[in-house]
Amino acid sequence: MGDTSISRRTLLTGCCATPVFARTGAAAADEESAQFELPQTGDQLVEVGHEAEAKPLTPQDLGLQDLLLAWAYDPRNKIVRNGSRLNMLLLMRFEPATLGDAERQLAPEGIVAYSAVCTHQQCWVTDWLKSAQVLQCPCHQSQYDLRHSAKVVGGPAPRSLPALPLNVNNGILDIAGPFTGRVGGEQQQGT
Ligand code: FES
């Protein structure tokens, strides 16, 4: 198996906010606002490109070293939090024994979740280099070690990708707490 990158089409179909045509007034404003919120504790996850189905992800949706891009999903109000490109998440599954001690606490069944936004200039980090076992940013080739807090192991990124702790509740992945750090880059993309 070679390296993996998420297709541009998959990314484009996923971003960003779904237009709010069906609601008006305060309800529509609330919904739109909720789409922009960062992932919240108790949110579930839906795969990018499959927002309309809003099918919550389960551990069985990820094979070993499958890279999957996702949005947080508020199941109570049925809102996908895809209003901002900075909300995109990446999930990957590893053998739990290969994770660092800290990561294992956040990663049920070896499934880690991080912000997909590069800490350099905010590109989406989408390329899994299987041979090197690192996640690489397509813009300027920063590399992150997802088994160990997504620490930077190459390129210009100044800091790790923030991690998002997960749970499994009733067989469904959900978010157990806030990001471990600030989401976003040191510089805006293209600036
Ligand atoms: S934006 Fe990722 S390395 Fe520059």
Is the pLDDT at 22 greater than 80? The verdict is: no
Question: What average pLDDT does the segment 7-11 reach?
Answer: 57
- Token digits for 59? 């551990």
Average pLDDT, the chain: 89
**pLDDT at position 139:** 97
User: Would residue 188 count as lying in a domain?
Assistant: no
| Ligand 1 atom at minimal distance to the Cα of residue 142 | 3
User: Would residue 33 count as lying in a domain?
Assistant: yes
Q: What's the count of helices (H) and strands (E) in the chain, helices before strands?
A: 3, 12
Q: What percent of the chain has pLDDT above 70?
A: 85
pLDDT band at 19 (very low <50, low <70, confident <90, very high): very low
User: Would residue 163 count as lying in a domain?
Assistant: yes
**pLDDT at position 21:** 47
Nearest CA to ligand 1 atom 3: 140
Task: Give the count of domains, the chain.
Answer: 1
CA of 127 to the centre of ligand 1 (A): 12
Question: What average pLDDT does the segment 54-83 reach?
Answer: 96
User: Would residue 123 count as lying in a domain?
Assistant: yes
Boundaries of domain holding 66: 4-16+28-175
Report the CATH number that the domain containing residue 45 is assigned in CATH.
Answer: 2.102.10.10
Q: Tell me the C-alpha to C-alpha distance, in Å, between residue 60 and each of 1, 83, 130, 133.
A: 20, 27, 21, 22
Contact between 172 and 59 under an 8 Å Cβ cutoff? The reply is: no
Q: How far, in Å, CA of 34 to CA of 90, rounded?
A: 20
Assessment of whether the complete model's pTM goes beyond 0.95: no
- Strand positions, DSSP E, 24-101: 44-47, 67-74, 79-80, 89-93
pLDDT band at 186 (very low <50, low <70, confident <90, very high): confident
User: Would residue 107 count as lying in a domain?
Assistant: yes
Q: Tell me the C-alpha to C-alpha distance, in Å, between residue 165 and each of 7, 21, 116.
A: 26, 33, 14
**pLDDT at position 103:** 87
Is ligand 1 within 6 A of the CB of residue 183? no
Nearest 5°: phi and psi at 141? 65, 30
pLDDT tens-digit series, residues 98-123: 998 888 889 999 999 999 999 999 99
pLDDT tens-digit series, residues 66-78: 999 999 999 999 9
If one compares 161 and 17, the residue with the highest pLDDT of the two is 161
pLDDT band at 190 (very low <50, low <70, confident <90, very high): very low
CA of 142 to the centre of ligand 1 (A): 6
Is the pLDDT at 37 greater than 70? The verdict is: yes
Q: Return the residue matching tokens 């956040």.
A: 106
User: Would residue 52 count as lying in a domain?
Assistant: yes
User: Would residue 34 count as lying in a domain?
Assistant: yes
Is ligand 1 within 6 A of the CB of residue 123? yes
Is the pLDDT at 142 greater than 90? The verdict is: yes
User: Would residue 36 count as lying in a domain?
Assistant: yes
